[in-house]
């Protein structure tokens, strides 16, 4: 019986490194795709549904940590390995906080990379077969008089029970995951929508207007979804 070949996505802008990794992983029997910038990386992730992602941090378009956060809003199980020249402890801490599974600094030993990939794929397969999560998640979230159910994409709020779109649920998760932390419009667009830094849109502002209508006691005087002049927005609350 033919077994499914594991699919690996490499998001790396250095073509020499990306193609070298691709060649060696292909020789190990994996199907390997490459994306050379952040926007293409997110598009490829959605298109091919890889079993593992190898991710650089410094990327054109959208940086690797934003890609990591965007993926984690939708998939907590997918094994992700950060491969980066940035060996600063703060970068490692951020990667771990955002849900990365492993971290390998450049320059790296090829044999070590191959072993780490094999280990992550085995662990990822075990998590999926047993229904386990590689990272903690939540099904519901309550604040004030509001309660959000991310399983059903519904919410109880001052308007009664409402239905949320998948995109609304995703952006709400992003705000909740960063509760009390300022988020720029640029960062919200990169993580929440997968847009590059060059994109200009009022999409974020329109979503904030909608969230205030749903969840604020007085939408004109917000206490949860606050505007930060020249920065962006901040979600502030004491979760129930």
State the residue range of the domain holding 65.
7-129
206 and 118 together in one domain: no
197 and 172 together in one domain: yes
- The answer to whether the beta carbons of residues 207 and 168 sit under 8 Å apart is yes
Residues sharing a CB contact under 8 Å with residue 17, sequence separation 6 or more, in sequence order: 106
CATH of the domain at 199: 1.10.10.10
123 and 148 together in one domain: no
DSSP of 84-150, one letter per residue? ES---HHHHHHHHHTT-SEEEESS--HHHHHHHHHHHHHHHHHHHHTT--SS---SEEEETTEEEET
Instruction: Among 87, 110, 129, give the residue marking a domain's end.
Output: 129
CATH of the domain at 107: 3.40.50.2300
20 and 116 together in one domain: yes
84 and 194 together in one domain: no
Q: Report the chain's mean pLDDT, rounded to a whole number.
A: 88
114 and 150 together in one domain: no
151 and 171 together in one domain: yes
| Res 132 pLDDT > 80 | no
pTM of the model: 0.82
106 and 17 together in one domain: yes
Tell me, yes or no, whether 134 lies in a domain. no
- The answer to whether the beta carbons of residues 167 and 179 sit under 8 Å apart is no
Give the model's pLDDT for residue 54: 97
Q: Give the model confidence (pLDDT) of 172-184 as tens digits.
A: 999 998 999 999 9
Length of the chain equals 240
Tell me, yes or no, whether 160 lies in a domain. yes
124 and 20 together in one domain: yes
Domain total of the chain: 2
Q: Give the model confidence (pLDDT) of 24-75 as tens digits.
A: 999 999 999 999 999 999 999 999 999 999 999 999 999 999 999 999 999 9
């Amino acid at each position: 019986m033919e077994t499914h070949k594991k699919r690996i996505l490499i998001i790396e802008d250095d073509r020499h490194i990306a193609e070298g990794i691709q060649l060696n992983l292909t020789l190990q029997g994996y199907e390997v795709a490459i994306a050379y910038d952040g926007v293409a990386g997110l598009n490829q992730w959605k298109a091919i549904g890889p079993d593992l992602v190898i991710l650089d941090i410094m990327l054109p378009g959208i940086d690797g940590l934003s890609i990591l956060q965007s993926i984690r809003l939708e998939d907590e199980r997918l094994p992700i390995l950060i491969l980066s020249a940035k060996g600063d402890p703060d970068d490692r801490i951020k990667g771990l906080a955002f849900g990365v599974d492993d971290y390998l600094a450049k320059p790296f030993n090829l044999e070590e990379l191959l072993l780490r990939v094999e280990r992550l794929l085995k662990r990822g397969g075990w998590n999926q077969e047993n229904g386990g999560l590689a990272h903690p998640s939540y099904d519901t979230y309550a604040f004030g008089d509001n309660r959000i159910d991310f399983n059903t994409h519904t919410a109880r709020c001052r308007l009664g029970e409402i239905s949320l779109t998948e995109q609304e649920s995703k952006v709400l998760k992003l705000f909740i995951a960063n509760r009390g932390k300022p988020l720029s419009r640029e960062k919200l667009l990169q993580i929440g929508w997968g847009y590059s830094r060059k994109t200009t849109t009022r999409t974020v502002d329109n979503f904030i207007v909608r969230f205030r209508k749903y969840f604020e006691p007085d939408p004109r005087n917000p206490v949860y979804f606050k505007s930060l002049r020249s920065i962006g927005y901040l979600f502030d609350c004491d979760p129930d």
